[in-house]
Amino acid sequence: MSAPAPLAGLKVVEFTHMVMGPAVGAILASLGAEVVRVEPIGGDRTRRLLGSGAGYFPMYNRHKASICIDLKHEEGVAVARDLAAASDILVENYRPGALDRLGLSYEKLAALNERLIYCSEKGFLPGPYENRTALDEVAQMMGGLAYMTGPPGRPLRAGASVIDVTGGMFGVIAILAALEERHRTGRGQKVQSSLFETTVYLVGQHMAQKAVTGRAADPMPARISAWAIYDVFETADDSHVFVGVVTDALWEKFCALFGLDDLWADESLRENNARVLARDRLLPRIRELLRTFTSDELIARLEGTGLPFAPIGRPEDMFDDPHLAASGGLEPTWLADGRETRLPALPIEMNGARFARESRLPEAGADTQDVLQGLGYDEARIARLRERGAIA
């Protein structure tokens, strides 16, 4: 079955770098849109990042075409304007005002293409902070997520670029809403999402907790869980498995599954809130019991019971995860050096089909000729632009 392509026919031009902006284009491309990524001459520096940044480019730039333009060159900017004039959607995540100074503001481009939806991905939405430089980590620290993730006194960023990616997702939501409105009005609009406000939205449940209870939320490592049995447990083979008992019916099932007849017979523990208050008494007993099983034995016993459980996986374990392999959760991807790997497909299904399909990472500027010919440029004009250094 071929991958769904609900956005087929939509043209996207992308002026982005790092993660947040490219994530918007990656989602739109996976949904079937035609995405052209504008890179500087020589290619986006994100291609060459080391360490934790080495995965940014392959993860968020599949299914895209690449064109290299010098946006400091007057004729390069003219090419960029032509691309925007022929597009449905523009995505950018440069510093505030950077594209405006090049004459590529929403107002200037909307005058050429009134149907253009112009998505700006920024650190902050308009307000006192809007000109600050922000990164995923900055937003996590400012917005309360790092405080909630680490132990008391030791703020800790989440272990993935969750704000960059979620901010990109909110950008896509705004684009899709603007597309629906364009169906009625015939006009595009400027939409924005941001790192800081995305972070605040994610910690909103903790803000609401303070509003409801009058007590500020504790960092997650120090929190009082809403359930008594809701933790990571050590197993006999020095591994770990998360187990949760989140309803009173599951408490009955848990007790029967592990022979805890005396605990089930204790009617004072029949309701969850009472078990939470008895957590200091219950947890040592449960920890000792579950430590008598290997992780495989514990998972085998829990499988199919309806009890929430999870082995503690690492990112590299996902390459061989049987569920992902069977469900189309990973798509074949060829890296820049020609090696094949598998990377996560869009995590949704439409009409019974997943979005996984083969992808190759574009070489920098690999599609410049084809993209410009699609705009109506002839061979001579393209050659002149190359000679003058406006494109590559």
Same domain assignment for residues 158 and 301: no
Same domain assignment for residues 188 and 264: no
Helix axis angle, 204-213 to 195-202, nearest 10°: 50
Residue 331 has phi, psi (to 5 degrees) of -115, 140
pLDDT in tens, the chain (392 residues): 589 999 999 999 999 999 999 999 999 999 999 999 999 999 999 999 999 999 999 999 999 999 999 999 999 999 999 999 999 999 999 999 999 999 999 999 999 999 999 999 999 999 999 999 999 999 999 999 999 999 999 999 999 999 999 999 999 999 999 999 999 999 999 999 999 999 999 999 999 999 999 999 999 998 888 899 999 999 999 999 999 999 999 999 999 999 999 999 999 999 999 999 999 999 999 999 999 999 999 999 999 999 999 999 999 999 999 999 999 999 999 998 899 999 999 999 999 999 999 999 999 999 999 999 999 999 999 999 999 999 99
Domain membership flag for residue 217? no
Domain membership flag for residue 302? yes
Same domain assignment for residues 61 and 160: yes
Same domain assignment for residues 234 and 356: no
When divided into structural domains, the chain yields a total of 2
Domain membership flag for residue 218? no
| DSSP string across 295-351 | HHHHHHHHTTSS--EEE---GGGGGG-HHHHHHT-EEEEE-TTS-EEEEEPPS-EET
Same domain assignment for residues 30 and 163: yes
Collapsing DSSP to helix, strand or coil, 244 comes out as strand
List the domain range (segments joined by +) for residue 270: 225-313
- CA-to-CA separations, 200 to 82, 203, 218, in angstroms, rounded: 37, 5, 16
Domain membership flag for residue 220? no
**Domain-terminating residue out of 288, 313, 338:** 313
**Domain-terminating residue out of 260, 282, 313:** 313
Same domain assignment for residues 306 and 190: no
**What distance in Å separates the CA atoms of residue 265 and residue 57, rounded to the nearest whole number?**
57
Collapsing DSSP to helix, strand or coil, 352 comes out as coil
The pLDDT score that the predictor gives to residue 223 is: 83
- Per the rule left: phi > 0, alpha: psi between -120 and 50, beta: everything else, 338 is left
Same domain assignment for residues 80 and 128: yes
Same domain assignment for residues 272 and 169: no
Same domain assignment for residues 194 and 88: yes
Q: How many CB atoms lie within 10 A of CB 16?
A: 26
